[in-house]
Amino acid sequence: MTENFILNYIPQRIKQLGYRNWHLRYRALTVLGQSRVIIAAYNELWFIVDHPVGLVVDSDYGVYDSTGNSSNENMHQHRGEITIQNSDPNPKKNNIHPSNHCELIWPSLQNNNTPKRK
């Protein structure tokens, strides 16, 4: 899912969930080999940008698996407990290596009675 598609899709998806107020946050995560990151996103919505290489993202909404090992369908939208795992047997300490990066867009949902941030 491209960043442009996500940014155009978010207003519709937020409205479907019953929210009117939200603001965007971007997260760029580095997940070294043989490690994982867990995000508690129970009342949140997260979108995977593009196609992170060598990572598996698992949540209540489904699985995104770019390793080619298990998933026929990759979910770019995630909610609930989100686990991002890199099963590469060799931890890479080089931060520019593409197989340990995951970029996410997080539309931070706000209570409908909370004024929008400007």
Q: What is the distance between the alpha carbons of residues 41 and 27, in angstroms, rounded to a whole number?
A: 13
Is the per-residue pLDDT at 8 higher than 90? yes
pLDDT at residue 111 tops 80: no
Say what the alpha-carbon torsion angle 18, 21, 23, 24 is, to the nearest 10 degrees: 20
Give the pLDDT band (50/70/90) at residue 32: confident
Q: Is the pLDDT of residue 93 over 90?
A: no
* Residue-range domains of the chain with CATH: 3-110 (2.60.120)
Residue 55's DSSP bridge partners are 86
The CA distance from 24 to 32, in Å, is: 26
On whether the pTM is more than 0.85, the answer is: no
Q: What percent of the chain has pLDDT over 90?
A: 50
- Cα dihedral sign, 23-97-38-3: positive
pLDDT digits (tens, 9 = 90+) for 35-71: 899 999 988 899 999 888 889 999 999 999 988 777 6
Lowest-confidence range among 8-17, 70-79, 101-110? 70-79
Q: How far apart are CA 54 and CA 88, in angstroms?
A: 7
Pairing between strand 55-59 and 77-86? antiparallel
How far is 49 from 84, CA to CA, in rounded Å? Answer: 14
pLDDT of 85: 93
Question: Can you give the pLDDT at residue 99?
Answer: 62
Are the C-beta atoms of 31 and 84 separated by less than 8 Å? yes
What are the backbone dihedrals phi and psi of residue 110, each rounded to the nearest 5 degrees, phi first? -125, 150
Rounded mean pLDDT, 21-41: 91
